[in-house]
Structure 1
Amino acid sequence: MLELMIPFFLLLVILLLALPLIFIYLFIRITEEAFEQIGFGHWHASLMVFGSIIGSMIDIPLHSGVITTYPAFMVDLMGTMDVPVSFHPVRLLVNVGGCIVPVLVSIDLLRRHRAPVSTALLGAVVVAILTYTMAEPVPNVGITLPVYIPPVSAALVAVVLCRGYRTAPAIAYISGSIGTLLGADVMNLLTPGVLPALAPPSAYPRPLALSIGGAGIFDGIFLTGVMAVLLASLVVCLLGGGSCRSRRISVS
């Protein structure tokens, strides 16, 4: 009996050790599939995925030093508002993998005419308004948003706005990435009172680092684009009655 239990125990240990590798492999393959659905070849998609993983470890400062108060022109505009104008020192950063890569991918899609510019921008505006209204600043944490809201809204907006189903995944990616970036992050950071809410007076000596896309490949901006593409592709396949791969556009 003991001899039978030892191999089973070893098999269980190997399985537990392999689970993280299986998860990483599935995540990479699903992400590559999303990039392929919006028109990139396999090697281009793989390069973007691994570039995003490496870029997730890099933050670029948006401002030299720390910020403790709003600019003078905003203070003048906020004169009639009952909100603080100063806050705990913060450093504003932008993450390469979680923000810059999705923005560059969106620009490249528009440059290659994978989606109509006007439709993509309209979709981004709709998603930006929705994410802006639903985002919530959490002190010493950041701006939070229900994870399902941006990708689902981006996919639905893309399918509704898209005149031809072929371009829906690309529009979903742009709408989700740019819309979430503008609505949840940029517009909220520019809203009077949000920075004081994120960085209330604290005895903690170090400045609070606020990074747009700061969670890298697991940030809402990056994952929104990937999930929106997959959801839009699924809807296209169901409504179109065809294969997803038959609708893919290859990029040389």
Structure 2
Amino acid sequence: MTTDSADVQVGQHDDEPHAESNASRLNWLRAAVLGANDGIVSTAGIVVGVSGATDDRTQILVAGVAGLVAGAMSMAAGEYVSVSTQRDSERALLRKESRELVEMPDEELAELAGIYEGKGLEPDLALEVARQLTDHDALGAHAEAELGIDPDELTDPWHAAWASMLSFTLGALLPLLTILLAPPGARLAVTVGAVLVALALTGRASAWLGRSPSGRAIARNIAGGLLAMAVTYGIGAVVGVNL
């Protein structure tokens, strides 16, 4: 079925807003989801492992808080270094592209036209599109088509670092508070149950925000959490008995 061009309304539609680029949205999503999952799983592993060795709430609290603080700082530092490296690489590529636009404009125009021709445009139309985009914003057009970079929305290392640290802390608080507040006899079962529910929710949230099926994301989160808690509890139990 064909659509009359006169009936087409130019611009974004309500079901697919583009106020923020996919790269920027996915960067926030990656940092937040990774931080929350790591906070839940790593802290749950620590407190469950310690509870396998001892019932002392003070020891569990100290271990859990130490793990939370160390993990949050590590996540923030890791995200900052990683995203800073990515940003440096993007800036270097943009500087190279800017230099090439000055030194070899005709070659760059031909390269851009070739990209659009490869996407299915007729050669004459591809060249005209390349000319118009270059006249409007040469660096932006070439950076997007050749490098997949938006010069106006480079990744921000501080945003990623803070998002990761905050989400890690919030995730870590759940198993820590649960194991401390639960009755001693039900401490392990309640904590494991709370962790699995939280991991299912973060898996569902990441799938929804990423517009992907949720079943696989939830299964991955739950399987990883169960494995981590089983291993650390087993180690804690062995060490506790031997000591």
Q: Normalization by structure 2: what TM-score?
A: 0.31
Q: Look at both structures and tell me which one has the larger radius of gyration over its CA atoms.
A: 2
Higher relative contact order (CA 8 A, sep 6+): 2
Could you say which structure has the higher strand fraction? Answer: 1
Higher helix share: 2
